[in-house]
Amino acid sequence: MKNTFVNIWEYYEKYIHKVPYRTLTCSGHKLIHEIMADLQHNYGLNPTRGMRIYEEVEILLITCAHGVGNRLIQEMFNHSGETVHRHFHRVLSVINKLVEDIIKPHPHYNDGVGYHMPQNKKYLPFFKNCIGTIDDTHIQAHLPRVEKPYIGHKGYPIQNVLAIVDFNICFTFVWAEWEGAAHDNRIFGEALCNQNLNFPYPLGHKYYLVDADYRNKIGYLTPYKGENIRYHLEDFRHCKDKTIASTSRKIELAIMAIHNYIRQRSAVDNGFKIA
């Protein structure tokens, strides 16, 4: 009887529900269950009387990944707007505890340990001492009209976020407090001078690849600005639309923490090693 039930369930998953294999094994249900277990056992996210942990985490993930509003989440999960709002912020606060443990460089990052060195041997001779990349990204915000400093050069409110990534495309440092009107180089300079940020400075001959808006200095290499060199920042900049209000920094850090969690635990796609 048990085998019959298993066969029926497998048939339903494969032909009726049609859940893709890659979603199940690499970045879907398996990882959601893993992150739920971590949040519950290590960060104090316990189920409530009216909602399971799985449902709470899904509300946050769907809201952040698809940029949907509270009303649509109410329809999807059959909860009131107040309930959705309360549980969203509850999970958000817990995930921000995860941020401290997952958004950080390897303790020996200046030794090229882990992903703080090129993984493709083809590029190793040229970037042997490179330990990561630094850039700013603009994230669209929905803010009160009085927040004029957040109006960026594109004409709508944005927040300027400074981030460092390693060669596994994991965030190792994030500073998400600046308005869109702030220049990238100013944010970069403040990050280098602010001792409270625990900025992962390069030591010795190590260096970061940085954006062309920054100053070329020891430890920070900007692109070559010669003639006939194609360098279009807008082709490489990733700008994600997210709902940002008073909890903007928490949301951004939570999304980056989840990104790191997936990158560090998902199956490796060998195609990226060839590129």
Segment 21-43, tens digit of pLDDT:
444 444 567 788 888 899 999 99
The predicted pLDDT at position 9 comes to 65
Residue 45 pLDDT class (50, 70, 90 cuts): very high
pTM of the predicted model as reported, rounded to 2 decimal places: 0.75
Average pLDDT, the chain: 79
H/E stretch holding 187: helix 184-193
Segment 152-197, tens digit of pLDDT:
666 677 788 999 999 988 999 999 878 877 888 899 999 999 989 9
The predicted pLDDT at position 139 comes to 82
Residue 120 near residue 148 (C-beta atoms within 8 A):
no
Segment 240-253, tens digit of pLDDT:
333 344 567 888 88
Torsion of CA 146, 151, 157, 160, to 10 degrees: -120
The lowest-confidence range among 6-10, 67-71, 136-140, 269-273 is 269-273
Rounded CA separation 67/255 (Å): 12
The predicted pLDDT at position 1 comes to 58
The predicted pLDDT at position 237 comes to 42
Residue 144 pLDDT class (50, 70, 90 cuts): low
Encoded tokens for 221: 């290499």
The predicted pLDDT at position 130 comes to 93
Exposed / middle / buried, residue 38 (Cβ in 10 Å: 0-12, 13-18, 19+)? middle
46 vs 159, higher pLDDT: 46
Residue 143 pLDDT class (50, 70, 90 cuts): low
